[in-house]
Chain A
Amino acid sequence: LAKTTQPISMDSYEGQEVNITCSHNNIATNDYITWYQQFPSQGPRFIIQGYKTKVTNEVASLFIPADRKSSTLSLPRVSLSDTAVYYCLVGGGSARQLTFGSGTQLTVLP
């Protein structure tokens, strides 16, 4: 199983861009990288998924270098409502590989 490493916590201010990096040195050839967001007392919510280079949607961007040993979730112009835990997941071949880890607690300050 590909193990992921993320910062435990990050602070930012409203309106800033936030980048959260995840390390996954043992990523397998067919593994995708997926990010989820979780608010208190709610289940996780899908944010973005990618395999290589860059993926962008209406919420975030995901940057994946050529060696795919890390990935960076970019949240443009964060607001207070972006305060949440963000999880990086690597895998796809089986449900057993869906390991969330401890995630990154992002706190957006006014």
Chain B
Amino acid sequence: GAGVSQTPSNKVTEKGKYVELRCDPISGHTALYWYRQSLGQGPEFLIYFQGTGAADDSGLPNDRFFAVRPEGSVSTLKIQRTERGDSAVYLCASSRTGTSGGLQETQYFGPGTRLLVL
């Protein structure tokens, strides 16, 4: 079946602009995650959705970052007033039901969106 898809695959923008990054999770997965990965580093957690609601947004670096998942499927990560330091690969992952109890559900990752802020 289809995996997690992310669009665009690459995005170049200018400092101060607004960008939206889209994630289409695996159909039927209720949990959705956003990560940010800088060069040479592992993915850094940003936000976790369970259904339509943000169950944990503690990883968002500041109020310029916001994410929505209005219908419990597609999610959009929004970055306002972009800064050069926002340049990174933004990864989206989904899992069937999410993390609960002691067991981590397998997360299925998309290929990421490479964001470059000039």
Contact = CB atoms under 8 A, between A and B. Distances in A.
Interface of A: 30-32, 34, 41-46, 49, 51, 85, 87, 89, 91-103
Given A32-B102, A43-B4, A94-B99, A100 B42 contact: yes
Given A99-B45, A102-B40, A92 B101 contact: yes
A94 B110 contact: no
B118 interface: no
B102 A94 contact: no
B99 A98 contact: yes
B111 interface: yes
Contacts of B99: 92-95, 97-98
Interface string B77-112: 000000000000001110000110111101111111
A85 to B, nearest CB: 8
B109 A92 contact: no
5 pairs of A and B residues whose beta carbons are closest in the complex: A43-B109, A100-B42, A95-B48, A30-B102, A92-B104
Nearest to A90: B104
Interface residues of B, number: 30
A9 B31 CA distance: 32
A87 B92 CA distance: 17
A44 B59 CA distance: 19
Contacts, number: 75
Interface string B1-27: 000100000000000000000000000
Contacts of B108: 46
A34 B92 CA distance: 18
A41 B4 CA distance: 14
Given A44-B107, A95-B99, A98-B104, 13 more contacts: A32-B102, A34-B104, A41-B111, A43-B92, A91-B104, A92-B101, A93-B102, A94-B56, A95-B55, A98-B45, A98-B107, A99-B42, A99-B45
Nearest to B4: A43
B93 A43 contact: yes
